[in-house]
């Protein structure tokens, strides 16, 4: 590393350290005005292991100018799982939602992620089964369908991505997708059903599937957040394996009588400075709660203008009271929302944004996303769980500014009629532009009602 490069990295570290550790004095929360809040449609439970928000690492909503597009799953009545759903492409103008497109058959298991380019091109990642209905863990043929925001009634065009040799894809695809909206480039991920490797395919600005390759994590890692900016590609994924501790697994089986026992404890990140020329680096393990039977949820990934990767995740020190009471008696469960920054594959800053301790009367952070505005601010949108002074449960969505860090910037409540428990935003890694408009898509109390809200950040 050159001396000038070392100085630049040191300055970045110093700046982020200053941002992350500013002293707290009186501050002001941003003003948030809700402009729309509505149910778009419903989706019956598919009972196939993947609900309508299951692909939480990949976008389902994008904004293109004054319009918003959403990919929403529909369950086929009397269609046997696993591939018993189909995608639906919806568009909202300034007034209302309209269903634009859907395939004739129910051939997908998982939701179908959606991204966009600055020119109005829309790309839907699909994974239809090639096998008879009712087949489980059968072969699928992933594709990317191109639509147009400018001509929303035009049917989707299949783009037939290319993959490296040896790919075996099934209905359990754990797909990832990213769009570099300004450059017009696309990156797709799909998991190898037997090895757990991720196969990736890159489509350059000329429309050519220019590069393909593989990512091998130390263990199977799923639900990837993927970002692509100026050819630099980033992937954040969570370990997803059967409980490795035999004693813990036997205890949970005896108590719950449920054989399904996958755990999510090890968080991984990998990147490449140029997806067109180089493979991904060896994955870096960012965090783990393996020793305490904890749980980590990878939540979001945002790339700054200087190339720094900002990562967001939720960490629970122990996954459940069941495990705490038996194996870690007397230890409270700690829930924290974590923000990590990497530059050129190296961690340069960490910060716990929010921290809640079981039984300590503090708020418990929940699901969260990044949101960048066109005036250079970066926010975290999150679910706040607490109790009122009267002891009643309190749930609300809040907005916390994280960059630039000002002194004691307080979170603002998003005044929704019903808070989102799980949600997506129209994110830059999905091709949406930074905006003071915050688009939310997800579910509240009723997981079958898919809802949308638009808020303006002042």
Report the pLDDT value the prediction gives residue 409, as an integer from 0 to 100.
Answer: 80
Contact indicator for 440, 452 with CB cutoff of 8 Å: yes
Report the pLDDT value the prediction gives residue 391, as an integer from 0 to 100.
Answer: 77
How far apart CA 348 and CA 173 sit, in angstroms, is: 32
Does 54 score more than 90 pLDDT?
A: yes
Q: Which candidate, 286, 348, 256, places its Cα nearest to that of 18? A: 348
Residues forming a β-bridge with 342: 309, 347
Interval 217-221 mean pLDDT: 98
Interval 427-436 mean pLDDT: 98
Confidence of residue 393 (pLDDT cuts 50, 70, 90): confident
**Helix extents (H) in 238-317:** 246-256
**Mean pLDDT estimate for the chain:** 93
- Residue-range domains of the chain with CATH: 3-457 (2.130.10.120)
Residues forming a β-bridge with 27: none
For residue range 395-416, what is the model confidence (pLDDT) as tens digits? 999 999 999 988 778 999 999 9
Query: How many CB atoms lie under 10 A from the CB of residue 106?
Result: 25
Residues ≥6 apart with Cβ < 8 Å to 447: 45, 51, 52, 53
- CA–chain centroid gap for 221, Å, is 14
How far apart CA 90 and CA 107 sit, in angstroms, is: 19
How far apart CA 55 and CA 108 sit, in angstroms, is: 13
Contact indicator for 15, 7 with CB cutoff of 8 Å: no
Residues forming a β-bridge with 440: 425, 453
Report the pLDDT value the prediction gives residue 408, as an integer from 0 to 100.
Answer: 76
**62: its two tokens:** 């994008």
């Amino acid at each position: 590393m050159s001396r000038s490069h070392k100085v630049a990295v040191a300055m970045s570290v110093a700046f982020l350290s200053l941002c992350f550790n500013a002293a707290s004095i009186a501050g002001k929360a941003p003003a948030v005005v809700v402009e729309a809040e509505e149910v778009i449609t419903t989706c019956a439970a598919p009972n196939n292991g993947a609900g309508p928000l299951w692909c939480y690492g990949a976008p389902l909503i994008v904004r293109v100018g004054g319009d918003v597009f959403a990919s929403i799953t529909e369950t086929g009545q009397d269609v046997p799982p696993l591939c018993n759903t189909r995608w639906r492409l919806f568009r909202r103008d300034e007034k209302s939602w309209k269903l634009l497109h859907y395939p004739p058959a129910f051939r997908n298991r998982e939701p179908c992620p959606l991204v966009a380019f600055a020119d109005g091109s829309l790309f839907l990642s699909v994974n239809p089964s090639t096998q008879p209905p009712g087949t489980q863990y059968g072969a699928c043929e992933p594709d990317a369908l191109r639509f147009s925001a400018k001509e929303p009634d035009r049917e989707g065009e299949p783009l037939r991505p290319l993959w490296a040799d040896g790919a075996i894809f099934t209905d359990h695809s754990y797909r990832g997708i990213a769009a570099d909206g300004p450059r017009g480039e696309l990156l797709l991920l799909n998991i190898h059903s037997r090895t757990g490797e991720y196969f990736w395919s890159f489509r350059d600005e000329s429309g050519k599937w220019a590069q393909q390759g593989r990512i091998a994590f130390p263990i199977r890692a799923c639900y990837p957040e993927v970002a692509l900016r100026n050819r630099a590609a980033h992937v954040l994924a969570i370990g997803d394996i059967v409980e490795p501790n035999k004693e813990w697994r036997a205890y949970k089986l005896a108590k719950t009588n449920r054989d399904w026992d996958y755990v999510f404890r090890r968080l991984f990140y990998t990147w490449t400075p140029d997806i067109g020329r180089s493979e991904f680096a060896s994955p870096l393990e960012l965090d783990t709660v393996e020793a305490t039977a904890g749980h980590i949820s990878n939540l979001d990934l945002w790339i700054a203008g200087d190339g720094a990767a900002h990562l967001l995740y939720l960490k629970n020190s122990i996954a459940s009271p069941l495990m705490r009471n038996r194996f870690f008696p007397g230890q409270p469960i700690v829930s924290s929302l974590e923000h990590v920054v990497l530059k050129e594959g190296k961690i340069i800053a960490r910060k716990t944004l929010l921290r809640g301790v079981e039984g300590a009367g503090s708020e418990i952070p929940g699901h969260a996303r990044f949101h960048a505005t066109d005036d250079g601010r970066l926010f975290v949108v999150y679910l706040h769980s607490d109790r009122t002074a009267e002891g009643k449960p309190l749930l609300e969505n809040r907005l916390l500014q994280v960059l630039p860090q000002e002194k004691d910037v307080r979170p603002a409540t998003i005044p929704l009629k019903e808070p989102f428990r799980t949600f997506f935003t129209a994110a830059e890694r999905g091709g949406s532009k930074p905006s003071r408009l915050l688009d939310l898509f997800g579910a509240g109390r009723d997981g079958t009602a898919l809802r949308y809200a638009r808020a303006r950040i002042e």
